[in-house]
C-alpha cells in the first residue's frame, strides 16, 4: 500500500474570514466529496477528512500503490496528481508514504523529501524528524518535549507499553498507524451511478462569464469521475439555482460521446455564452444520469483518420453550441416533383440515421433555390423549356407549372415558371 495525501490548507479562500460557520463546513464537505470522486480516476481507494479542531486542514488520501503498474511510478503519479490539482486551481501540499498518517506528516516537510515508498525508508526518515510534526494534541507534544524528547526516532525507541501508560493508549495507536504496525481504517468513497455535483457561491453571480471559473472546476471534476467509471457522456444538464425563484436549466448535448474535460468545457462555454441568465445565480449544479461507453481511439493504422473524424465531431458541437443547433444542417433530396418539396434539411444528429431516398433523374436543376417563388414580369427570351410540372393535388400544394431558363439583362441565368392556372410568372431559382 502506498498513500498519497493531499493537504488542502486553503480549500475555501472565497469563504472569507468566517471559516468556522456551519455553512462553511457544509461547503467544505461538498467540495471534498467532489474532489474525492475526481481522485477516483487514479485509485479505487480514496478517502477524505474535513478540517476539524484536531486537524486544521482538509485532507484527501489516494491509495496509489495498486495503480503504479498502470499509471507509472509513485513520483510520476504524484507529479501528475499535483498538476491536475493545479489545473483545478486548488493549492495543496502532496506527499506519498506507506501509511496515511505518514503521508500526512510528510506534507509538512521540505518538498524534496515528500516521497517515501518503503517501510524501512519511512522509519529511517521519521527517526530524524522533529517531534512537533506528529499529529498529536498540543498538550501531549508539550509533555514529550518536557520529557526531553526532540526527535520522532527517540519516541519510537521507547517501549509502546510505557508510552501508553504515560501519554495514553491513543498516542500508541497513532504511532502504530504512523509506522505501519497498525492499519488505519479510512472510510471509502463510493462511486455513485449518477453524477450530481454542485458549486455554491457565497455571493450570487450575476454575469455568465463569472461562471466560467467554477464551471471549469465542475467539468474537470466531472471528467475525473467519468474516467474513474470508464464512461463517457453525450448529454448532461447544468442547473442554475437562484434566490426565491425556481431553478433554470441549460441542457448540453454533444454529437458524440465525450469524457475529455477540455472538450466538455469548449462546448459548454459556447452554450453558456449564448444563454441569458434568468436571475443572479447562487449555485451551479451539474447533473448527468445517462452514460455511454467511451470512444477509445485505437493506436492503429486508422488512428489519424479516426482522430480527425473525432475532432470534426467536436467542432460540430462547438459550432452548434455557438450558432444554435438548427443553424447547422445537412441536405437531402426528396422524392417529390414540386421543386420546393424535392429537398429537405436535417439536423446533423439525424442526418446519419435518415437514408436518402433514391431519386429518379430529372432535368438539370439550378444550385440556388429561392425560399418562396418571387412574382416577376413575363420574361422576354426563353432559353430553355418548357419542363411541365404538375403535382401535389392530393395534399393541397397543387402545382401546375411550366419551367424555363431565362437570361436576365445583367447576365444572371434564372429559373422561372409560369403558373398554368393563372398565367402569372415567378422566379424560383438561379443557375449560380
Q: Rounded distance, CA 202 to CA 96, Å?
A: 34
Least spacing, CB of residue 257 vs other proteins, in Å? 18
Q: How far is CA 165 from CA 169, 171, 176, 330, in A?
A: 7, 10, 15, 81
CA atoms within 13 A on the CB side of 122: 26
User: Residues 210, 22, 242, 31: what is their CA dihedral angle, to the nearest 10 degrees?
Assistant: 50
Nearest partner of 347 among 370, 364, 324, judged by Cα: 324
Least spacing, CB of residue 262 vs other proteins, in Å? 15
Tell me which residue has cell 527517540: 154
**Interacting span for other proteins (CB under 8 A) from 115-123, 225-233, 234-242, 332-340:** 332-340
- The one-character DSSP state at 115 is B
Does residue number 348 form part of the binding site for other proteins (CB under 8 A)? yes
CA angle at residue 232 from 229 to 233, to 5 degrees?
125
Does residue number 419 form part of the binding site for other proteins (CB under 8 A)? no
Least spacing, CB of residue 268 vs other proteins, in Å? 16
94 grid coordinates: 502532496
Q: Rounded distance, CA 11 to CA 32, Å?
A: 9
Least spacing, CB of residue 406 vs other proteins, in Å? 9
Footprint of other proteins on residues 361-380 (CB under 8 A)?
361-362, 364-371
Does residue number 242 form part of the binding site for other proteins (CB under 8 A)? no
Question: Which residues, in sequence order, are CB contacts of 353 under 8 Å at separation 6+?
Answer: none
Nearest partner of 46 among 105, 94, 5, 106, judged by Cα: 5
Least spacing, CB of residue 126 vs other proteins, in Å? 55
223 grid coordinates: 471528467
353-368 b/e with 16+ CB inside 10 Å = b? eeeeeeeeeeeeebee
Cβ closest to other proteins, residue 191 vs residue 430: 430
53 grid coordinates: 479542531
Nearest partner of 427 among 398, 397, 405, judged by Cα: 405
The count of chain residues that interact with other proteins, using the rule CB under 8 A, is: 49
Does residue number 87 form part of the binding site for other proteins (CB under 8 A)? no
Does residue number 384 form part of the binding site for other proteins (CB under 8 A)? yes
Cβ closest to other proteins, residue 52 vs residue 262: 262
Tell me which residue has cell 479510512: 186
Of 343, 375, 388, 390, which lies in the binding site for other proteins, with binding defined by CB under 8 A?
343
Least spacing, CB of residue 205 vs other proteins, in Å? 25
Convert residues 292-331 into a mask of x (bound to other proteins by CB under 8 A) and - (unbound): ----------------xx-xx--x--xx--xx---xxxxx
Of 53, 381, 410, 423, which lies in the binding site for other proteins, with binding defined by CB under 8 A?
410
Of 356, 374, 393, 421, which lies in the binding site for other proteins, with binding defined by CB under 8 A?
356
Footprint of other proteins on residues 198-227 (CB under 8 A)?
none
Cβ closest to other proteins, residue 80 vs residue 332: 332
Least spacing, CB of residue 52 vs other proteins, in Å? 50
189 grid coordinates: 468513497
* Beta-strand runs (E) in 93-192: 93-97
Cβ closest to other proteins, residue 177 vs residue 271: 271
Provide the binding-site residues for other proteins, judged by CB under 8 A: 308-309, 311-312, 315, 318-319, 322-323, 327-333, 339, 342-345, 348, 351, 356, 359, 361-362, 364-371, 383-384, 405, 407-408, 410-414, 429-432
Amino acid at each position: 500500500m502506498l498513500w498519497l495525501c493531499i493537504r488542502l490548507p486553503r480549500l475555501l479562500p472565497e469563504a472569507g474570514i468566517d471559516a468556522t460557520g456551519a455553512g462553511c463546513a457544509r461547503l467544505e464537505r461538498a467540495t471534498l466529496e467532489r474532489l474525492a470522486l475526481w481522485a477516483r480516476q487514479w485509485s479505487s481507494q480514496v478517502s477524505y477528512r474535513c478540517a476539524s479542531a484536531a486537524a486544521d486542514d482538509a485532507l484527501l488520501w489516494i491509495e496509489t500503490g495498486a495503480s503504479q503498474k498502470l499509471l507509472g511510478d509513485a513520483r510520476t503519479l504524484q507529479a501528475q496528481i499535483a498538476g491536475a490539482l493545479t489545473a483545478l486551481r486548488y493549492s495543496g501540499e502532496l506527499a506519498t508514504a506507506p501509511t496515511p498518517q505518514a503521508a500526512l506528516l510528510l506534507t509538512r516537510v521540505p518538498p524534496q523529501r515528500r516521497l517515501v515508498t518503503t517501510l524501512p525508508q519511512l522509519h529511517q526518515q521519521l527517526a530524524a524528524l522533529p517531534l512537533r510534526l506528529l499529529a498529536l494534541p498540543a498538550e501531549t507534544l508539550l509533555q514529550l518535549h518536557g520529557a526531553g524528547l526532540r526527535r520522532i526516532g527517540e519516541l519510537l525507541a521507547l517501549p509502546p507499553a510505557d508510552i501508553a501508560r504515560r501519554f495514553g493508549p491513543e498516542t500508541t495507536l497513532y504511532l502504530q498507524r504512523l509506522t505501519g504496525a497498525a492499519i488505519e481504517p479510512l472510510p471509502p468513497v463510493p462511486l455513485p451511478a449518477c453524477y450530481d455535483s454542485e458549486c455554491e457561491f457565497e455571493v450570487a453571480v450575476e454575469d455568465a462569464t463569472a461562471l466560467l471559473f467554477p464551471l471549469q472546476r465542475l467539468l474537470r471534476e466531472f471528467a475525473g469521475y467519468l474516467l474513474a467509471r470508464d464512461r463517457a457522456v453525450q448529454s448532461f444538464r447544468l442547473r442554475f439555482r437562484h434566490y426565491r425563484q425556481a431553478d433554470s436549466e441549460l441542457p448540453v448535448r454533444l454529437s458524440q460521446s465525450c469524457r475529455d474535460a477540455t472538450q466538455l468545457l469548449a462546448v459548454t462555454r459556447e452554450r453558456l455564452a449564448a444563454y441569458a441568465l434568468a436571475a443572479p445565480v447562487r449555485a451551479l449544479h451539474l447533473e448527468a444520469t445517462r452514460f455511454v461507453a467511451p470512444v477509445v481511439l485505437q493506436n492503429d493504422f486508422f488512428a489519424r483518420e479516426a482522430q480527425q473524424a473525432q475532432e470534426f465531431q467536436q467542432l460540430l458541437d462547438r459550432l452548434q453550441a455557438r450558432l444554435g443547433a438548427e443553424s447547422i444542417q445537412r441536405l437531402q433530396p426528396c422524392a417529390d416533383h414540386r421543386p420546393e418539396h424535392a429537398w429537405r434539411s436535417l439536423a446533423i444528429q439525424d442526418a446519419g440515421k435518415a437514408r436518402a431516398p433514391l431519386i429518379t433523374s430529372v432535368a438539370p436543376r439550378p444550385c440556388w433555390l429561392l425560399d418562396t417563388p418571387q412574382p416577376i414580369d413575363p420574361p422576354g427570351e426563353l432559353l430553355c423549356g418548357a419542363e411541365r410540372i404538375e403535382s401535389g393535388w392530393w395534399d393541397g400544394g397543387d402545382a401546375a407549372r411550366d419551367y424555363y431558363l431565362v437570361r436576365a439583362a445583367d447576365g444572371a441565368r434564372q429559373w422561372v415558371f409560369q403558373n398554368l392556372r393563372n398565367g402569372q410568372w415567378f422566379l424560383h431559382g438561379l443557375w449560380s
